[in-house]
Structures are given as structure tokens and as C-alpha cells.
Chain A
Amino acid sequence: MANLKTNLAGIKSPNPFWLASAPPTNSGYQIMKAFDAGWGGAVWKTLGVPVVNVSSRYGAVNHRDNRMVGFNNIELITDRPLADNLREIEEVKKRFPDHAVIASLMVETKEEWHQIVKDVENAGSDGIELNFGCPHGMCERGMGSAVGQEPKVLKTIVSWVKEVAKVPVIVKLTPNISDITRPGLAAVEGGGDAISLINTIQSIVGVDIDKFVPYPIVDGKSTNGGYCGPAVKPIALNMLKNCAQHPGINIPISGIGGVENWRDAVEFILLGATSVQVCTAVMHYGFGIIRELVSGLERYMDEKGFQTLDDFRGKALPNIMHWEDLNLKYKVVANINKDKCIGCQLCYTACEDGAHQAIGLSGDMTDRKPFIIEENCVGCNLCSLVCPVEDCISMDRKDDGKETLTWKDRTLAGNIPTTFNDPLAGGLHHWVPQPEEALTKAKPKHYSL
């Protein structure tokens, strides 16, 4: 049976599922409810000098009938007095001693940092997370992402905290920076025990096209917010990979960004995360999703024979190379399973208009199923991605696997195109129709204007 116990730099929790510092961790009431539901840890909503929030705080990106595939907020850190929060931390820890309670902090001066670190430790926090990520409101006041974007400042503040902290210190990074490893390294240099990423991405979530104001609207005006939810997962995974692969960043990582189900969590762990933090999915569906997260992760681990999370942590990292190290001799070609094809022809139009004109139609209404023009297929995967039928289009390997040749190899051998019309160019070997053929190509009647 899979053991989900987690230990991030000494912060222990019964499972790797933590609530991220956000509205779901605003109060002791919510966190107790979450622990009771099965969550392993919680990062308390950022403490500091309490703020005043605006009314109208969230906006969302819906995709067709899927709500909140992206989510953005302009809410700030806690708006409740520190004393209330500290008392509730104490109560939660008393009732749930084995669950991880991490206090997220954001203050300005060294004195404030020293004081608040001691306060939250006295209240029983198992760890501290430094909020260097918030990309709206707080950064205007020189905190949040304003710190995360300045590795030197970040390092200094981490070292202030480390001067007094007795519990592990997690440094939360902002993705609003071109190279996430720079603040990551600064966190290590400052003495941080772990990093967590990503915080939200600075965003405008959409514009009200009748009122000419972006969302969320506050009395006819708006401001940029922080973007999160399932849509940001790919960005989070890439930044996680960048830090996890960096030889200088040798401290554990708590993964954050669009985790909604067990599969997302597994992906984060495979890229090196020790724990995962969840916010938007809880804001959407409530704490109950933990049932699915735990059961899915357990089933996956049992199926793969993994006893502990360490058994597969970072297992995908060795398979992420630089582009120049990928094998140019590897060749896949699309294959349509005619028994499964339903004749929607999305692969046809996607390839025809959006890729490499490697799919044909018979032109006969009785045979609606497209066919692959193998010599044109570059193996891009697009058709298999747009196909609405599971396992209908496969990408079949055509090379024999014996040869390996990378861009790096070719560069070293001096066998790469270097001039504008170099005959070594890859596209020279691809068939493309003549431009004029576009105007005579058959199309459905209703496509004519």
C-alpha cells in the first residue's frame, strides 16, 4: 500500500497535498475543515500588517462550458489582525498536531520580519513561507513580487528570517521574471530551506466589451491581478523543472500552479516537487476534491509499485534535455485507425491549414475518413491532438531506432545550415503545394463567402 507521508525540509505531513496560501486558508475554521476532510498541510493566508481589500476581487477565464480554466484575483494578504490569526494557528495545531501548518509571511523591515517569525513559531507553525510572489497591490508597496524580482533583496530578507527562524523556511517565488532560477539561487544563498513555486502570474483576465473595463471591475475601473488555475500549469511545470534541474538549487521544492487532480500532482512530483499546493481547484470545488487526489495518487503508486513519494520524485527530470540534444533521426508518422474514425475531418483541416498538408480527403461523401499522405507528414502530432476520439490517431515510429543524430552533433560536425538559402535547411526536403493551388483547392460549399 502506498505511503503518502511527506517531509519537506523537515516539515512533515500525512500526504503531499497542501492548501496554498490563499483565500481557502484565511481562517482557522477553513483549515480545520480542510484537515478534517483529509488535506495534509496548509499554508496560512499571508500574514503581515493587515490590509484593506476592495470589493469585487476575482475574474475567470472560461473555455466553452468549462468554468474557471483560468482564474485571477486582486485580493491582498490577510485583512484580519495578526493576534486573531496566531490564536487560530495555535488552535489548529492543538487539534491537528500531525498536519503541517505553514505561516506565509510578508512584512517590510528587518524588525518586523524578526518579530513575526517569532510570533508564528510561538503559535506552533511547523514552517514559514516567505511571500515574495504576490504580483498585484503588495508589490506596489515594495513587497511580494517586488522582492521576488530582485534576487539581491530576496537573499537579504531570507537571511534576516534565517537569523531567528527555528522552523524550516520556504521561499515562495514569483513567475513574473524571465529566469526563475536566479531568485531560486538567491533563496539558497540566503539560507532558505526550501522554495515553492509558482505564485500567480501578472494578468488581465479579460475585458468587459460593453463597459470597456477589464475584469474584475471595481467601481468602473480595474487593475492587473494574479493569474492561476489549470491554465497556468504548463508554466509552473516548466519553472519547476528549471529549478529542479539546476545544480545550485539543491533544496526541496513545493510545487504550485494549476494542480486540480491526482494526475497533475503526479506530474509535479515527477518533475521534482516534494509537496504540491492547491488553491484554485478548492476555490472552485471545495475541500472535497482531496478524496479524488488521495485515491488517485494511491492507485497510481500501487499500480506502479511505488512505496513512497521518493520512489518517483524527479523521475521525469533526466528525460528533459535541451532541444539540441534531441534525436533528429527519430521519425514518427500519423496513422488513422479507420475503425475508430468518426469522420469529423478536424485532423484534415488542422493539418491542411495549420500544419503540413499531410492529410487528404477522398472527396467522396460516402468515405468521410481522411487519409495520411505519409511523405508529407513531419510527425508533428497536431492531428492526434485535435482528434476527438481516444486512440484513433497514433503516431507510429518509422525509423529503426539505430541511428542517433542531434543538432549538437551536427553543429560539431559543421553540418548545419548557416546562410539564408543554405541547401542544408530541413524544410527543403518537405513537400509544399504551390501558393496558387490554395485558390483552386476543393472546399465545402458552406465555406464560400
Chain B
Amino acid sequence: MSEYKAPKSEKDFEENFSQIKPLMSDSEAYYESSRCLFCYDAPCVTACPTGIDIPLFIRQINTDNSLGAAKTIYDSNTFGYACGKVCPTEVLCEGACVYNHQDVKPIEIGRLQSFATGKAIEKNHKIYTTGKPNGKKVAIIGAGPAGISCACDLRMYGCEVDVYEAKDQPSGLTVYGVAPYKITNKEALDEMVYLEKQFGYKVHYRKPILNKADLENLEKKYDAIFIGIGLGSTSSLNINGENLENCIGATEFVEELRMKHHKVSVPAKVIVLGGGNTAMDAASESARMGSEKVILAYRRSKEAMGAYEFEYDLAKGVGVKGMFNVSPVEILGNGKVEGVKFIRTQDVNGKLENIAGSEFTEACDWVIKATGQSKQVELLKLISGMELDGKGRILVDPKTFVTKNPKYFAAGDAVSGGQEVVNAVADGRRAAKGIMDSIMK
């Protein structure tokens, strides 16, 4: 049933994961930018979590001023290129475009955004001059969207910034967690190089902050510490069989795929558990990796899925089969996964109930759990005064992003519990302002 053959080379992989928002050519950008109406209080701007002046940058592209457009974008969004590619524009800027009310295709804002910022990155066009040194030092834990955007703004304010990253590469989920057909590794990393060169923060790779001693060290050295550690590994379902070989987490699967590409081998039959966007990604990716039968199993109805409709459509489009109102009871197998035992469910006055006696078994080679990620609670508990909510999310002041420990600030998924790249960028920048207000007092 799958349309895709297992990729045997990097070229195969690129074909199977061809970009759903490919970079525009100059002509395409010109024609598309010509269509923009230049709305007054443009709803696309309001819909953008970073409030980019979209009509302005589109007009700049149209008047052959793409570098000016890039500045307009970066002024509001540090991850301008990446967001153009990975943002769910269908529900943000493009979803708000007034053309939708006229049954005309909305402006392809995301692709135009990547077009303009891509020009700046390609030319290594310098837009910003960092602030005069103010003598303050800030440590950032995690080189993801929240951390890097916070670092850039702090550099503009004149702070010295060190970023501590556990992994080999920056950009967090942009390179490790987003589906490969949304952005390539090279694209994500090129923007990181561009930013690092321009803003001059230092990233220390393979330097995880793990224990009390690490934290105390930071506290001594820096005036403030920003936590942008995102989420942890895939949460446990607490059912039997989870420890079997080939029962894996979606986050881990996507990360492996992003790093190893065609060298990852996905078996013939895969069951993905979950109804969120990560589940859609994992299912889509399995199909594109040549898996013959990919089932997306969700315990509630199709309508109740947390995933965006277009994400489900993407998965369906590559042959993923949805199975709804089925709850996993047990992962079956002998050493290795052989199948999943489900029970059918129904909604009774808003409460999900199992239908007694409706158990059935679906055979498979892999189970991918896309049922949420844990929070990195262990580390956070080591920080004195730090408070978390019931779901393990860091409690911060919504304006300044300061945690209950006044030396620590936080933003991104570790605070929100899991949002888009664009939200992390917006909050990371607000946190930079909060840090400045605090340390310059």
C-alpha cells in the first residue's frame, strides 16, 4: 500500500522526503509577492506569534529588496528561515489571509519568508551590530529556538552569552525533531551559523547541564541563567510490553531519522500510537521510509485529535491508515514487538470508556509511541526555589519569564509543555528583555 520504496541512498531519501515547502525561485517569489493586497491591520501579522510585519516584507520582496525583507523578518523572528518552513502557516498567517474569505488561495507567506531570509543567509548579509558590552554575563541552557533567540537579543543588549548544548548541533527540534520534509538539516544549520556569526554568542556543544555542581558553577559565573531545555524523552504508556525491542518513542525515532537518514531501516508494518502532530509526523515518515502498512491508532475519535487537519491530510496522503477509538491494552511479542492488543472505546458524555469485550489484536513489527514527552523534572528539581506545575512545566512570570528563582529565566517547551518553534522564539525574546530588566537594575 505504501507509495514509497525504502530509501537506499541519500538521494532516495531526499526524494522520499522532498520539501513540502520548497524554496521559491526569484520568479515565483515575484509573482507570489505581487498578489499580496497589503492589508491595513493585516490579520496575518496578528496571527503570527512573533508579529512579523508580513505585508511590509512581502512588498519589499516585490520591489527587489529581499535583504530589506530579511531584516523585517529577523527584527521580529530570530528563526525567520526555519519558521517559514516549519510553522503551521495553514493555521497561523496563511490561515488568517483575507484571500481565504474570497475562496482565493492565500499568499504563501511561509515560503516567501524563507525566500527572503534565505537570500540574507546565502549572502551572509550582516543586518545587526551587537550592543556595546554592558559587563553582564548570561548562560543559556539549550541551543534550541528559545535559547538561541534569547541569546541573540541578549547580545543586542550588550551581554556576554554562553550557550550550553547537550547535543552536537544547535537549533533544537528544528534539526532534531521536525519532519524531514519540512526542513533539511542543512537549511536549519545554515541559519544557525548565520546567526552565531552575526550575534557572536558562544555555543558549547556536548556540554549538558546535569547536576547540582554544574548548576552551581553557572550560578557563580553568570548574572542570569536561561533555561531552554525543551522536553525530555517519550513518556511511558504504563502498559505491558513497552520494554520489548522495537517499541520506540516518536521523538527518538524522528531524531534518529534526522541524523541517519536512509541508514534507518523501518519495517513492513508499523503502528503509531497517538493523535497529535508528532504522531502524524512519525506515521508519515514511516510510510516515506518504505513501510508497507502504517496504522495510526488513536484512542479517541478522528475529530478529537490534537493534530492539525493538514498534518493528518499529509499522513493520509502518503498512505497512512487511521484507526480511531482504539486504546492500546498491551504490546505483544516475544522479545521483539509482534503486535498490539487494542480495546475499542466510545465517548460517553465526554468521558472515554472502553467497550467491554471488544479487544482485538493488530500485528506489527514496530510500535511508535507518540503519546507525549516527559519533562526534564530531575534537573529542574535541583534548582533551589524552582517551581513546576502539575505537569512538570516550569512556572514563570508571563511577562518577564523569570522563574520562582530570580536568577533563572525560562521559555520554550519546558514552560509551555510543547508548542511550535515560533512560540519558543517569541517567548525566548521576551525572556531576554526580562533578563535585561532584572540584571541591569
The chain A residues found within 8 Å of chain B, CB to CB, are 64-65, 341-346, 348-349, 361, 365, 368, 388-389, 444-446
Contacts and interface: CB of A to CB of B under 8 A. Distances in A.
Interface residues of B, number: 20
Contacts of A444: 40-42, 45
B56 A446 contact: yes
B62 interface: yes
Interface stretch (B31-39, B155-163, B324-332): B31-39
Contacts of B41: 345, 361, 368, 444
A342 B43 CA distance: 11
Given A343-B43, A444-B45, A446-B56, 12 more contacts: A64-B34, A64-B62, A65-B31, A341-B101, A342-B99, A344-B40, A346-B37, A368-B43, A368-B98, A388-B37, A389-B102, A444-B41
Interface string B105-130: 00000000000000000000000000
Interface string B275-302: 0000000000000000000000000000
Dominant SS at the A interface?
A: loop
A445 B43 CA distance: 12
B252 interface: no
A365 B45 CA distance: 12
A228 B62 CA distance: 24
B46 interface: yes
B387 interface: no
A446 B39 CA distance: 12
Contacts of B46: 365
B308 interface: no
Interface string B169-212: 00000000000000000000000000000000000000000000
B311 to A, nearest CB: 26
Contacts of B101: 341-343
B30 interface: yes
B14 interface: no
Nearest to A369: B101
Given A65-B30, A65-B34, A446-B45, A342 B40 contact: no
A348 B56 CA distance: 18
B353 interface: no
B51 interface: yes
Contacts, number: 47
Given A342-B99, A445-B51, A349 B34 contact: no
B56 A342 contact: no
A341 B38 CA distance: 15
Dominant SS at the B interface?
A: helix
Interface in B6-41: 30-31, 34, 37-41
A345 to B, nearest CB: 4
Contacts of B56: 446
A348 B40 contact: yes
A138 B56 CA distance: 45
Contacts of A348: 40
A34 B412 CA distance: 67
A348 B41 CA distance: 10
Residue from the set B39, B45, B46, B53 with the largest chain A CB neighbour count within 10 Å:
B39
A390 to B, nearest CB: 9
Contacts of B31: 65
A44 to B, nearest CB: 38
A347 B414 CA distance: 44
Contact of A342 (B30, B62, B102): B102
B77 to A, nearest CB: 13
A65 to B, nearest CB: 4
Contacts of B62: 64
A444 B38 CA distance: 13
28 contacts: A64-B62, A65-B30, A65-B34, A342-B98, A342-B99, A343-B39, A344-B37, A344-B39, A344-B40, A345-B39, A345-B40, A345-B41, A346-B38, A346-B39, A348-B40, A365-B43, A365-B46, A368-B98, A388-B102, A389-B102, A444-B40, A444-B41, A444-B45, A445-B45, A445-B51, A446-B42, A446-B45, A446-B51
A206 to B, nearest CB: 13
A343 B98 contact: yes
A184 B423 CA distance: 69
